[in-house]
């Protein structure tokens, strides 16, 4: 169920065109703003759902396993200006239904883990939950980008229950290690400083630094395994079709399970 708005930025009947300038009445502008805020609120709620699920997993690990696989979590919802700029760059219609289908990173959550095996473990634990649907997976850990960038990118569909009903909202969730996050953050700052015109020599140095960060991840995971035992192996790269099929089978199995009998407690 989507927000009942025909077009996020379409002209209204109250607009007046004078010398190529559009004047929007205060009431029309207020309505447009309310529609956009409601649309973005759905993404904020979906993002908070993911954060809550991760907080539960983190607390359970701390209490039950005395181990925290999550170093920190950061999140954001795109601003209106950023969203409009992306629509213009990609030539996408400004209707809300189209935006929801075409732009899937409006809400984003980044999960930073200690070790590589924690990345895959958290991905499994999160995506095995009944109400989460995996839409897309890009495993840049198994197959890094040409510049050395590593991360596990996923698009998850999260149900949000509003007073008007259920809305399935896509959320981009990225999983990476501390070393991957350190390299990606500094690489972004360098590219910003050079307005993306980075000299070839610096590009090669960045790639070398990425390789060093990957080597550090591997070495630290080996040391961790020597002290605490080898973690369960993961089989990468992650196959989206296999993940979706496994999720579907799990849901079918749960639906076929008999409901527990309810016990009525009578007052004495």
Rounded CA gap, 109 and 132, in Å? Answer: 15
Which entry of 172, 205, 215, 259 is annotated as an active-site residue?
172
Rounded CA gap, 184 and 191, in Å? Answer: 10
On whether the CB atoms of residues 149 and 114 are closer than 8 A, the answer is no
Rounded CA gap, 155 and 132, in Å? Answer: 10
**End-to-end CA, the chain:** 47
In the numeric block, the tokens 């698009």 are attached to 155
Helix/strand/coil for 219: helix
Looking at 19-90, which runs of residues are DSSP E strands?
21-23, 70-77
Q: Kindly give the pairing relationship between strand 107-113 and strand 165-177.
A: parallel
> Residue 266 is encoded by which pair of tokens?
């009578």
CA proximity to 3, closest of 243, 163, 223, 158 = 163
Confirm whether 88 is a catalytic residue: no
Q: Is the dihedral of CA 59, 55, 242, 152 positive or negative?
A: negative
On whether the CB atoms of residues 231 and 122 are closer than 8 A, the answer is no
What amino acid positions are annotated as catalytic residues?
172
């Amino acid at each position: 169920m989507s927000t009942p708005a025909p077009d996020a930025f379409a002209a209204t009947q109250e607009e007046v065109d004078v010398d190529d300038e559009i004047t929007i009445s205060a009431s029309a502008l207020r309505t447009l703003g309310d529609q956009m805020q409601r649309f973005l609120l759905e993404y904020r709620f979906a993002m908070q759902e993911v954060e809550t699920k991760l907080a539960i997993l983190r607390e359970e690990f701390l209490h039950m396993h005395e181990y925290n696989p999550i170093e920190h979590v950061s999140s954001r919802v795109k601003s209106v200006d950023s969203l409009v700029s992306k629509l213009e760059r990609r030539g996408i219609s400004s209707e809300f239904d189209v935006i929801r289908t075409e732009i899937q990173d409006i809400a984003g959550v980044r999960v930073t883990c200690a070790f590589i095996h924690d990345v895959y473990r958290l991905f499994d634990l999160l995506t095995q939950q009944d109400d989460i649907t995996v839409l897309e997976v890009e495993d840049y850990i198994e197959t890094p980008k040409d510049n050395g960038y590593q991360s596990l990118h996923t698009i998850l569909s999260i149900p949000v229950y509003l007073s008007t009903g259920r809305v399935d909202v896509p959320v981009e969730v990225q999983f990476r290690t501390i070393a991957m996050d350190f390299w990606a953050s500094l690489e972004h700052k360098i590219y910003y400083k050079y307005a993306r015109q980075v000299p070839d020599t610096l590009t090669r140095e960045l790639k070398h630094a990425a390789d060093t960060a990957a080597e550090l991840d591997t070495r630290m995971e080996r040391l961790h395994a020597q002290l605490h035992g080898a973690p369960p192996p993961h089989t990468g790269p992650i196959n989206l079709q296999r993940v979706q099929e496994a999720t579907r089978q799990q849901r079918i199995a749960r639906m076929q399970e008999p409901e527990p009998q309810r016990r009525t407690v009578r007052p004495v």
